[in-house]
Structure 1
Amino acid sequence: MYKILVTRNIPGNYIEKIENMEIEVFSGNGNMRDWLLSNIGSADGILITLNEKIDKELIDHGKKLKVISTYSVGYDHIDVEYAKSKGIIVTNTPEVLTDATADLIFGLMIAAARNIVSGNDLIHKNDWKAGWNPTFMLGSEIHGKTLGIIGMGRIGKAIARRASGFDMKIIYYSRHRHDVDADFASIDELLQQSDFVIIALDLNADTFHFMDYQKISKMKKTAFLINGTRGKIVNEKDLVRALNEKIIEGAALDVFEDEPVDNTNPILSFSNVVVTPHLGSATYETRDKMAETAVTNLVNVLNGKDPLYKL
């Protein structure tokens, strides 16, 4: 009988539906990594989330390991190539969270441009004293502006589809040209021309700190930077410097270099920065579909079938 380790409870009852396999779910007591190190040696498969770092040490302990199924689209928390060298199949959950993430990213852009969060806070704090005023809390329009998308994968394309409904001029930068209703641009052209710059990249060695001070400095002073994919793509220290120097108008972030965000993080001191706690895929429908996909990937491999998605 195959043994499966599950690091966290996931939505739905898909774990309970697994038949003829021994399942052990982390109880929440003690240290997660210690638990993995102690138990992975007897496991044939593991179902993890993006919070668990599966490195060479853990993989070497997994003498029987056949499959690593991650409940995420990102996989930078796994040493994928080392796992493959050991004959271990690594799977993820792409596609199912594309639209939910694109929705949130587009919402962040609107919220940042139109002072939605600061306006909400103003009312809740009972600080709205003067009523309507012609120059009160003016923001930037979205309609007709230029949107620059860095990365034109699934999420980038979904964002572009949403932007077309706002009659935005869409330009993009990517390693490869794509057949999309948007104009390809160099990274410098994109940064210099865009009113909104949205990051839609995967995190890897090439994209780590891709958005640094040098690149941010090329943006318009009236532009906004939006990141809802992976936190380490943006050098937060450089972003803080740029905001202090008023190089750009503002930013919106759903992801951060270190999560959860410490309340001493200087990014939280800016009223022109909208922040949310990694909510990209956080809808009932999407998280449920991710659970179904992650479990199906895992079970398929152990049953000698192809997973839905394989890295």
Structure 2
Amino acid sequence: MTSSKPKILVTRRLPETIEARMATLFETDVNESDQTLTAEDILSGIQGKDVLVSTITDRIDADLIRRLPPSVRLIAQFGNGVDNIDLEAAWAAGLTVTNTPSVLTEDTADMAMALMLALPRRLVEGTQLLLRDRAWAGWSPTSMLGHRLRGKALGIVGMGRIGTAVAQRARAFGLTIHYYSRNRRPPAVEEPLGATYWPDLDAMIEAVDLVSLHTPLTRDTANILSAARLDRLKPGAYVVNVSRPELVDEIALIERIESGRLAGAALDVFDNRHGINPRLLVLAEVNRVVLTGHMASATLEARIEMGETVIVNIRTFMDGHQPPHRLLPDTPVARARG
């Protein structure tokens, strides 16, 4: 007897409660190994399925989309970012693509604020010192001196949901808020934060002490913190990135920290295509850089909410309705038809 439930392929392991709920609602095939699937793995597993539940580690490019079986009608991304999916190719192939926005806002903002504190206050270094020596010589007036945040200027690149949540937290720590974004936020957002809008990113970069990146990766934002822009930063400035590694010229950032021109960086994301850059690891070892492994959204609460959002998108779509988090490519024709 053929099941009437939607058939889905889930490319990575998800929280147990989400997998159990999916198993109840759908005919579910989960990648038990939790290793990143190759294109051939995906094509093999997706045969006869209706929905591909992808994550950011899956490369859903035009070639893979072209080779998907006709049964596949929906790509339900488990995640907010979708730069791993060729949206134009998916749209041209008649596929619907969804994501899980909004649920990551608070956790990502928390991590950005934690990194802003960790870097100038030398939190990682202080912990490592105690673990290395297995002892503490005691308090000293000149020991482990860092820098305070209050009174410093924070430049936020991308004042969307996450950028705004970061600004709210940073304001409470006494930072002055500056931002660059594609669209200026209304007075109801700016005024409580005392936020200053800069239509020119280069001008803002020159005026702040810390830069925090909160913009999605697009053609326009790739390498938005280029070598030239890094050179515009104040000497001794900091860079924080919890968004996408491709937003920063990583080699240029490393060079400017190595030379002492920039005080350091706190990176939750970095280029790992061929392993972490050894120079970046050295900077982390000498506490000029704080590295965390894409942990900004890594809370159980966020992962469960992401899974529930995926389920809502699938059920809505399979019931014949437009899912609430449908994505369109940034083209005039797609926008008109969407």
The structure-2 alpha-carbon separation of the partners of 1:159 and 1:125, relative to structure 1 and needing over 3 Å to count, comes to same
Residue 114 (structure 2) aligns with: 107
Residues 1:203 and 2:217 aligned together: yes
Residue 76 (structure 1) aligns with: 83
Alpha-carbon distance between aligned partners in 1 of 2:8 and 2:73, rounded to the nearest angstrom: 10
Secondary structure of 1:137's partner?
coil
Residues 1:232 and 2:246 aligned together: yes
Alpha-carbon distance between aligned partners in 2 of 1:17 and 1:274, rounded to the nearest angstrom: 37
Alpha-carbon distance between aligned partners in 1 of 2:269 and 2:80, rounded to the nearest angstrom: 14
Letter in 1 for 2:28: I
Higher normalized helix content (fraction of residues): 2
Alpha-carbon distance between aligned partners in 1 of 2:169 and 2:34, rounded to the nearest angstrom: 43
CA deviations on 1:245-264 (whole Å, 9 max, x unpaired) are: 211111100001226843x5
CA deviations on 1:25-77 (whole Å, 9 max, x unpaired) are: 22329872222122334221111111001112221222221110111100000
Alpha-carbon distance between aligned partners in 2 of 1:90 and 1:257, rounded to the nearest angstrom: 26
Alpha-carbon distance between aligned partners in 2 of 1:52 and 1:104, rounded to the nearest angstrom: 24
Residue 333 (structure 2) aligns with: none
Secondary structure of 1:94's partner?
coil
The structure-2 alpha-carbon separation of the partners of 1:291 and 1:267, relative to structure 1 and needing over 3 Å to count, comes to same
The structure-2 alpha-carbon separation of the partners of 1:115 and 1:256, relative to structure 1 and needing over 3 Å to count, comes to same
Mean CA deviation greater in 114-123 or 9-18: 9-18
Deviant stretches of 4+, over 3 Å: 18-21, 127-130, 259-262
1:146–1:168 CA contact under 8 A, matched in 2:
yes
Shift of 1:265: 2.5
Shift of 1:130: 4.2
Q: What does 1:232-251 correspond to in 2, within 5 Å?
A: 232-251=246-265
Letter in 2 for 1:4: I
The structure-2 alpha-carbon separation of the partners of 1:281 and 1:260, relative to structure 1 and needing over 3 Å to count, comes to farther
CA deviations on 1:65-118 (whole Å, 9 max, x unpaired) are: 111011110000001111111111100011000110000011001000100000
From 7, 10, 19, the equivalent of 1:6 is 10
Residues 1:152 and 2:159 aligned together: yes
Alpha-carbon distance between aligned partners in 1 of 2:196 and 2:134, rounded to the nearest angstrom: 44
From 30, 48, 65, the equivalent of 1:25 is 30
TM-score by length of 2: 0.87
Query: How many percent of aligned residue pairs carry the same amino acid?
Result: 36
Residue 52 (structure 1) aligns with: 58
Which of the pair has the greater relative contact order for Cα pairs under 8 Å at 6+ separation? 1
Residue 286 (structure 1) aligns with: 302
Shift of 1:14: 2.9
Alpha-carbon distance between aligned partners in 1 of 2:310 and 2:300, rounded to the nearest angstrom: 16
Shift of 1:13: 2.5
Shift of 1:286: 0.9
Letter in 1 for 2:280: I
Secondary structure of 1:217's partner?
helix
Give unpaired runs (5+ residues) of structure 1: none
Alpha-carbon distance between aligned partners in 1 of 2:323 and 2:297, rounded to the nearest angstrom: 21
Mean CA deviation greater in 34-43 or 44-53: 34-43
Shift of 1:211: 1.1
Mean CA deviation greater in 130-139 or 234-243: 130-139
Letter in 2 for 1:266: R
The structure-2 alpha-carbon separation of the partners of 1:31 and 1:164, relative to structure 1 and needing over 3 Å to count, comes to closer
Secondary structure of 1:147's partner?
strand
Secondary structure of 1:14's partner?
helix
Alpha-carbon distance between aligned partners in 1 of 2:236 and 2:295, rounded to the nearest angstrom: 26
From 291, 304, 308, the equivalent of 2:320 is 304
The structure-2 alpha-carbon separation of the partners of 1:129 and 1:27, relative to structure 1 and needing over 3 Å to count, comes to closer
Alpha-carbon distance between aligned partners in 1 of 2:210 and 2:78, rounded to the nearest angstrom: 30
Alpha-carbon distance between aligned partners in 1 of 2:246 and 2:142, rounded to the nearest angstrom: 37
Mean CA deviation greater in 90-99 or 50-59: 50-59
1:293–1:308 CA contact under 8 A, matched in 2:
no
2:36–2:57 CA contact under 8 A, matched in 1:
no
Tell me the matched-pair count.
Answer: 310
Alpha-carbon distance between aligned partners in 2 of 1:269 and 1:128, rounded to the nearest angstrom: 25
Shift of 1:129: 5.6
Letter in 2 for 1:147: L
The structure-2 alpha-carbon separation of the partners of 1:58 and 1:200, relative to structure 1 and needing over 3 Å to count, comes to same
Alpha-carbon distance between aligned partners in 1 of 2:90 and 2:203, rounded to the nearest angstrom: 39
1:12–1:291 CA contact under 8 A, matched in 2:
no
From 28, 33, 43, the equivalent of 1:37 is 43
Mean CA deviation greater in 101-110 or 267-276: 267-276
The RMSD of aligned alpha carbons is: 1.9
Shift of 1:210: 1.4
2:237–2:264 CA contact under 8 A, matched in 1:
yes
